[in-house]
Homo-oligomer: A and B are copies of this chain.
Amino acid sequence: MEKISFGKKGLIPAIIQDIDTGKVLMLGYMNEKAWEETLRTGKVHFWSRSRQKLWLKGETSGHFLLVKEIWIDCDEDTLLIKVKPVSGVCHTGHYSCFYRQWNGKEKRWEEKEKKIFSPEEVYGKGD
């Protein structure tokens, strides 16, 4: 049987990693339905906490996350999903949502990665 702890709110965090580059792309949250749809379709689905609905990542942009491997942690309360991303995953136009690095000397976040697509062209509304 699959053992997953969806937590008090029925959600489990899922770390998304590019299987080819090893880059961590984003963190999303799945409920049971999102988990089932991810397995059924091979495309990552989340539960959108802001929109309170099932969210096929890429439904607006076409930037789907194609599932290659799924791992679970020791406590069964976090998923690691290795994917092939169709294109950049971030709604800002960046390849990864982690495009800002902590600058310890200046005590500020510093943008380190360039955009790889134009969010205005790709999205009508968010993704």
Chain A positions within 8 Å of B, measured between CB atoms, are 1-3, 13, 15, 17, 22, 24, 26-27, 39, 69-75, 78, 80, 90-92, 94, 97-102, 104, 107-109
**A20, chain B: closest CB distance, angstroms:** 11
Q: Which residues of B contact A71 (CB under 8 A)?
A: 98-102
Measured in the bound complex, the distance between the Cα atoms of B98 and A109 in whole Å is 29
Q: Which residues of B contact A109 (CB under 8 A)?
A: 2-3, 72
Q: Which of A27, A72, A100, A104 has the most CB of B within 10 A?
A: A27
**A2, chain B: closest CB distance, angstroms:** 6
Nearest B residue to A39 via CB reads: B104
